[in-house]
Amino acid sequence: MEQHFPGPAPPPARGPVSAAVGEYLLGAGPPPPEEAITAAEVYGDDLQLALYLCYELHYRGFAGVAPDREWDPGLLRARAVMERRFRSALRAGTPVHDSLDDALAEILVEPVDGSGVSHYLRDEGELWQLREYAAQRSLYHLKEADPHAWVLPRLWGRAKAAMAAVEFDEYGGGRADRVHARLFAELMTDLGLDTTYGRYLDAATAEVLATVNLMSLFGLHRELRGALVGHFAAVEITSSPGSRRLAEAMRRTGAGPAAEFFYEEHVAADAVHEQVVRHDVIGGLLDEEPGLAADIAFGVDATGYLEERLARRLLDAWRAGRSSLRIPLSQEMHHIS
């Protein structure tokens, strides 16, 4: 009997490493050799796509890819080499604060210059730029909160209870129509985007792939549980003010009620989540494992580092009047058809 595997179609390769991974997933060749992985640019399209393909097997997988590829030993060995390079680059390149308190203090204060992506979109962004932003962010938001759920079995006591409470809100508080991933799909509909899971993977840049890969890297390794909590804290602490600006951008450009609502929902919810994460998730984890403070700080700092790289890519393109995507939305339908 013919087997049918759900999920989006694997995207086109962006180099020899992602080509080898894609072929291996379909049973058409060996995994990428270590020398090819070592030669690839760490933050480049090829390696980041290859790593994304490996990680996506732990989410919804790909059409035509057998489920047992998720734990295939050959693929895991290749993934481990990619991860070592990614982790080494993060450790070497991320500006790290002296303490967790310093790392949290910096993100608790709004930047004075107001030069971030949400500031730009609020003040001068056009609708086509909002559409591009949503297409890129869909790689995470259509599975919002899923990478962070992996930390739950690795916590206990106050930290576990608080983390579960925040995740419960992310998943709609028991209401399917309020699951944040669904709300983002409704935002995409308002913006005239395709809500199919994985639809904009081929158009997404290496910078946005790296931000999603960071979550998966932290989530899939128990030893990085502190870093994942740090990532979650960074997201929740910075989300409310950024979401307020993005809601204003959606309103100013007439994006639509669902587009506004997604960010308005995050203004209120994440203001509460920020307190819970700082005091109960982080506080509870440090009560049990005080030695994880440096890992939590690294998670905060690495998140900011990759988000800044993505912001530069977006803003440099938009200020020059260019698309920030690998494949502009105006061309994408033709490219895929």
pLDDT at 39 over 70: yes
Q: Can you give the pLDDT at residue 8?
A: 86
Which percentage of the chain shows pLDDT scores above 70? 95
Distance CA(186)–CA(284), nearest Å, equals 35
**Residue 240's pLDDT band (boundaries 50, 70, 90)?**
confident
The answer on 181 and 300 residing in a single domain is yes
Predicted pLDDT of residue 336: 38
The residues near 230 (Cβ < 8 Å, ≥ 6 apart) are 103, 295, 296, 297, 298, 299, 300, 301, 302, 303
Joined tokens for residue 143: 């599975």
Is 4 part of any domain?
no
Average pLDDT on 200-211 reads: 98
Lowest-confidence range among 124-138, 166-180, 268-282?
A: 268-282
Q: DSSP letter at 173? A: G
Confidence of residue 272 (pLDDT cuts 50, 70, 90): confident
**What is residue 281's DSSP assignment?**
I
Residue entry with tokens 């962004």: 125
CA–CA distance, 332 with 324 (Å, rounded to integer): 13
For residue 314, the model assigns a pLDDT of 98
Residue 214 in any domain: the answer is yes
Pair 269, 186 in one domain? yes
Residues 122 and 246 in one domain: yes
Burial, 133: exposed, middle or buried (Cβ in 10 Å; 0-12, 13-18, 19+)? buried
Is 216 in contact with 58 (CB distance < 8 Å)?
Answer: yes
Within this chain, do residues 121 and 85 fall inside the same structural domain, yes or no? no
Q: Give the total number of structural domains in the chain.
A: 2
* 332: in domain: yes
Confidence band of 335 (pLDDT split at 50, 70, 90): very low
| Listed residue (246, 268, 270, 269) closest to 259, CA to CA | 246
Residue 6 covered by a domain: no
- pLDDT of 228 above 90: yes
Q: Are residues 114 and 262 part of one domain?
A: yes
Contacts 24+ apart (CB under 8 A), 275-280: 276/162, 276/165, 276/166, 277/162, 277/163, 277/166, 277/229, 277/232, 277/233, 277/236, 277/237, 278/104, 278/233, 278/237, 280/158, 280/159, 280/161, 280/162
pLDDT, one tens digit per residue, over 273-322 is 888 999 999 999 999 999 999 999 999 999 999 999 999 999 999 999 99
CATH number for the domain spanning 182: value is 1.20.910.10
What's residue 333's pLDDT? 44
Per-chain mean pLDDT for the chain? 93
Count other Cβ atoms within 10 Å, centred on residue 64.
15
Tokens of 212: 């999603």
pLDDT bracket for residue 218 (50, 70, 90): very high
Same domain, 198 and 81: no
Instruction: Name the DSSP class of 31.
Output: P
Residue 111 per-residue DSSP state:
-
Mean pLDDT for the stretch of residues 112-136: 93
pLDDT at 274: 85
In a domain, 10, yes or no: no
Structural domain span for residue 300: 97-336
Q: Using an 8 Å Cβ cutoff, are 313 and 306 in contact?
A: no
What's the chain's Rg over C-alpha atoms?
Answer: 19
Helix (H, G, I), strand (E, B) or coil at 112: coil
Q: What is the mean pLDDT of residues 139-167?
A: 97
Quick one: 79 and 220 in the same domain? no
Q: Is residue 232 located within the same domain as residue 159? A: yes
Per-residue pLDDT tens for 52-85? Answer: 999 999 999 999 999 999 999 999 999 999 999 9
Same domain, 108 and 86: no
Q: 3-class SS at 204?
A: coil
Q: How confident is the model at residue 5 (pLDDT cuts 50, 70, 90)?
A: low
Give the global pTM: 0.94
Nearest to 146, CA basis, from 181, 177, 172, 116? 181
Residues 66 and 140 in one domain: no
Task: Tokens 């900011």: give the residue.
Answer: 304
DSSP for residue 95 = -
On whether both 228 and 278 belong to a single domain, the answer is yes
Residues 65 and 36 both lie in one domain: yes
